[in-house]
């Protein structure tokens, strides 16, 4: 009887696929910030700048692809004892982060493509489907520029702060479930 209960008990950790998606996107997001900051240290129209731009773009497209896969491959989440407000807050943050990991890479691609530039994805050229489209460029720039960088860093900071608060202040197993 115990083995049947163990087989039907809710998971205590996130599934391996869920942890893979979470930490892969986290590492890629870090790589995106590092590459764009490195790009800013280079002179315009140099091979070094092109390298950092390509690395940033490739990481962004991987974030988008992994997020789409994460949405398609639904993994069970551990049940959490929490207040309705905490559950709503957790769900809202999760959904906002998913939207950001979909929207920002798409806006980055559109921003580049609307200038009729080829997008480099780890050496594979993706031609622009838009040609030169100033309106589309400016709209995408609003969603993929300095302000969005601050918003994304703030969301990541809040996410990390919540995980650390759960671990060190509430002393629950929230952080351990994702590691």
Asked if pLDDT for residue 134 goes beyond 90, the answer is: yes
Q: What is the structure's pLDDT at 81?
A: 78
Q: What is the structure's pLDDT at 7?
A: 56
CB 156 within 8 A of CB 29: yes
Closest CA to 40 of 52, 31, 32, 29: 52
Asked if pLDDT for residue 9 goes beyond 80, the answer is: no
CB 96 within 8 A of CB 52: no
What is the phi/psi pair of residue 118, to 5°? -80, 135
Q: What is the structure's pLDDT at 80?
A: 76
What does the pLDDT average to over 136-162?
95
3-state secondary structure (DSSP) of residue 109: helix
Give the C-alpha separation, 171 to 76, whole Å: 23
Residue-wise pLDDT for 57-101, tens only, equals 999 999 999 999 999 998 777 777 788 998 899 899 999 999 999
pTM for this predicted structure: 0.89
């Amino acid at each position: 009887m115990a083995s049947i209960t163990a087989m039907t008990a809710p998971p205590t950790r996130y599934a391996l696929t869920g942890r893979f998606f979470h930490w892969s996107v986290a590492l890629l997001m870090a790589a995106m910030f590092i590459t764009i900051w490195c790009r800013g240290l280079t002179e315009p129209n140099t091979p070094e700048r092109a390298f950092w731009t390509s690395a940033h773009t490739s990481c962004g497209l991987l974030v988008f692809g992994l997020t789409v896969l994460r949405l398609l491959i639904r993994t069970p989440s551990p049940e959490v004892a929490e207040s309705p407000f905490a559950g709503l807050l957790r769900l809202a943050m999760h959904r906002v982060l998913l939207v950001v990991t979909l929207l920002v890479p798409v806006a980055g691609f559109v921003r580049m493509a609307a200038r009729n530039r080829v997008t480099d994805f780890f050496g594979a050229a993706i031609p622009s489907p838009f040609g030169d489209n100033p309106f589309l460029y400016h709209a995408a720039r609003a969603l993929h520029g300095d302000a969005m960088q601050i918003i994304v860093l703030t969301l990541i900071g809040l996410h990390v702060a919540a995980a650390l608060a759960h671990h060190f202040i509430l002393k629950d197993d929230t952080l351990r479930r994702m590691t």
